[in-house]
A and B are shown apart, each in its own frame.
Chain A
Amino acid sequence: MKAPSISESAPSPPRWLQPVFMLAPAGLWLLLLLIIPTLIIFQLSLVPNIRPGDVVNPSGLDNYWRIFQPESFPVILRSLFFSVGTMLSCLILGFPVAYWIALFSPKRWRNLLLIGFTLPLWTSTLLRSYAWISILRRTGVLNSVLTSVGLPALDLLNHPIAVLIGMTYSLLPYMVLILYASLEKLDRQLLEAAADLGATPTQTFWKITVPQCLPGITAGCLLVFITGLGDFINPELLGGTSSRTAARLVYDQFLGATQNWGYGSALSIILILVVSLAIALLIKYGDKNAKSL
């Protein structure tokens, strides 16, 4: 061994000190900058925002009731619409990709194909969204192509469709990775057996392939849903003022024009709760291996 010579005389620290030494720094950091802050915004969310002349409501749930008022409820629904829409389009577009890579692509290319598909994830989120502005705007790439073949130009930028495109683009690689992990473990003998017993490819697909990778589908969908729910950049850059989402509403309560920390905190707590619910479902029904992604 290459143990240095000073070691022999060095006294070993007491046993209980080792776990403390390893866990305390990160533990303190998390406690100070994650746990306590979250508890504080929970407390703040229960403090009613009292403006001059307001009748004080002692319930403290004012900030939560406000979420269901017509000024903000549509924004919450829009967030849900975007994240569910993104989840569905990622599943529909991602499944065939994961399916082909896992089942049909040449074996030694598989890693390379996966890396290739996920490489754009490493580039700046802002700039990827910005690239879609260049593609979708009125004088952009898409319209140049459309008009050059005689089709009418489309006004997609500042439209919910642009947000869905941008979000799908951002989250598709995650979906493909998770679906791949689950399709790779598919029992091929079952597929062959089904074919031998006279099942059509369609029957095999729906009766063997899909049920077997259902945990992977669940995991992929929930992860895309969770990430999409908190997306700030795509709705902000691609959707325009009519596509504001919950994240933007929260942002406004702190850094924007409408300063209301209590209300912003209540919205954040709701976001955390929805995400926690999704995680609970993920732990219960999701793919054990996909979770580590």
Chain B
Amino acid sequence: MQSPSKFHASAFFTALMFGFMYLPIAVLTFYSFNEAPNSAQWKGFTFSWYIKFFQDGRILSALWDSVLVASLATGIAAIIGTLMAIGLARYQFFGKKLFQGAAYLPLIIPDIAIAVATLVFLAVIAVPLSLGTIVAAHVVFCLAYVALVVSTRLANLDPHLEEAALDLGATPFQSLLFVLLPQLTPAIVSGCLLAFVLSMDDFLISSFTAGGGVTTLPMEIFSRIRTSVRPDMNALSVVLMIASAGFALIAEVICYRSEKKRFQ
């Protein structure tokens, strides 16, 4: 098969690429503890950048707005996205392909186009921009991610379980609630975690739909880092990275476990 030299080459290259993926993260972490505010030289260990942003009222209120938007958007998307995924898997109807296409469109259409369309629409129907309009806009893409994860899981489920429940006298609503939903829970949870992280990360759609009063965390970060390198932003990065990596790991573990259970 492959010669040993080739094996070493691609293994070495992969290690190099892992280094590339983690270099920026290492750099941010390094800077966040470095006393020197603006240099690559180590001037001593400090926690002061962390303390600085924890006392920064604007960052904290932006963080709160972001968490609120992401929670509401994810919550709504979880309910209507799960129902949609089940409905699309179960029923045949005219225009189904079109419906499906529209639902997954936000995964591919550039954010800027969605942002523009939403802003223009809100202006046309004269709805004032607010926290609510950001949530409504975020639901569109959160919905797509929840539906995607849930429908993948649905495709791998055993349909007989639900049929058995119906044969045994359960109403369709009961079989949905007590038979189907428990099997879908891992997928719904990991879809929600994904949607939450993406909503927390969104900059463009929020900027277009926020109006004057609301600033989400990415908007606040963007306005600060565009002008200069800010050491307290390094500390914020590290905290956010740890939080979202935690989310990612939870999602992966849930997915991995439910996969494993299925093949046992």
Interface on A for B, CB 8 Å cutoff?
Answer: 1-4, 7-8, 10, 12-13, 18-19, 21-23, 25-27, 29-30, 32-38, 40-41, 44, 93-94, 96-97, 99-101, 103-104, 111, 115-117, 119-128, 130-135, 137, 139-141, 143-144, 169, 172-173, 191-192, 195, 201, 226, 229-230, 232-233, 236-237, 247, 250-251, 254-255, 261, 264-265, 268-269, 271-272, 275, 279, 292
Q: How far is the CA of A41 from the CA of B113 in the complex (A)?
A: 9
Q: Add 10 more A-B contacts to A21-B83, A41-B120, A264-B116 (CB < 8 A).
A: A3-B174, A29-B136, A29-B143, A104-B10, A116-B18, A127-B237, A127-B241, A230-B112, A250-B112, A254-B116
- Decide if A30 touches B140 in the complex (CB within 8 Å): yes
Find the B residue at minimum CB distance from A31. B102
**Which residues from chain B contact A122 at a C-beta distance below 8 Å?**
197, 244-245, 247-248
- Decide if B237 touches A131 in the complex (CB within 8 Å): yes
Q: How far is the CA of A229 from the CA of B219 in the complex (A)?
A: 21
With A115-B252, A139-B40 as contacts: A130 and B233 at CB distance below 8 Å: yes
**Which residues from chain B contact A121 at a C-beta distance below 8 Å?**
248
Residue B137 CB within 8 A of the other chain: yes
Q: How far is the CA of A114 from the CA of B132 in the complex (A)?
A: 37
**Which residues from chain A contact B13 at a C-beta distance below 8 Å?**
96-97, 100
Interface on B for A, CB 8 Å cutoff?
Answer: 1-3, 6-7, 9-11, 13-14, 17-18, 20-25, 27-28, 31, 38-41, 79-81, 83-84, 86-88, 90-91, 93, 99, 102-103, 105-106, 108-114, 116-121, 124, 136-137, 139-140, 143, 147-148, 152, 165, 168-174, 178, 197, 200-201, 203-204, 207-208, 218, 221-222, 225-226, 229, 233-234, 236-237, 240-241, 244-245, 247-248, 252, 256
- Decide if B1 touches A191 in the complex (CB within 8 Å): yes
Q: How far is the CA of A232 from the CA of B207 in the complex (A)?
A: 12
**Which residues from chain A contact B140 at a C-beta distance below 8 Å?**
29-30, 33-34
Contact of B171 (CB < 8 Å), options: A7, A247, A272:
A7
> How far does the Cβ of A67 sit from chain B's closest Cβ, in whole Å?
14
17 contacts between A and B (CB under 8 A): A10-B173, A19-B87, A29-B140, A33-B118, A34-B106, A34-B117, A96-B9, A97-B13, A119-B248, A122-B247, A124-B240, A127-B28, A127-B233, A137-B229, A139-B38, A272-B109, A272-B113
**Which residues from chain A contact B168 at a C-beta distance below 8 Å?**
1, 3
**Which residues from chain B contact A30 at a C-beta distance below 8 Å?**
102-103, 140, 143
- Decide if B170 touches A1 in the complex (CB within 8 Å): yes
Contact of B81 (CB < 8 Å), options: A26, A230, A237:
A26
Contact of B31 (CB < 8 Å), options: A10, A44, A134, A269:
A134
With A40-B124, A250-B112, A254-B116 as contacts: A26 and B174 at CB distance below 8 Å: no
**Which residues from chain A contact B1 at a C-beta distance below 8 Å?**
191-192, 195
**Which residues from chain A contact B31 at a C-beta distance below 8 Å?**
134
- Decide if A2 touches B203 in the complex (CB within 8 Å): no
- Decide if A99 touches B10 in the complex (CB within 8 Å): yes
Contact of B137 (CB < 8 Å), options: A8, A33, A97:
A33
Q: How far is the CA of A272 from the CA of B17 in the complex (A)?
A: 32
- Decide if B87 touches A232 in the complex (CB within 8 Å): no
- Decide if B18 touches A34 in the complex (CB within 8 Å): no
**Which residues from chain B contact A261 at a C-beta distance below 8 Å?**
120
Contact of B20 (CB < 8 Å), options: A29, A127, A169:
A169
- Decide if B110 touches A40 in the complex (CB within 8 Å): no
Q: How far is the CA of A3 from the CA of B177 in the complex (A)?
A: 10
- Decide if A100 touches B10 in the complex (CB within 8 Å): yes
**Which residues from chain A contact B86 at a C-beta distance below 8 Å?**
22
Q: How far is the CA of A139 from the CA of B38 in the complex (A)?
A: 8
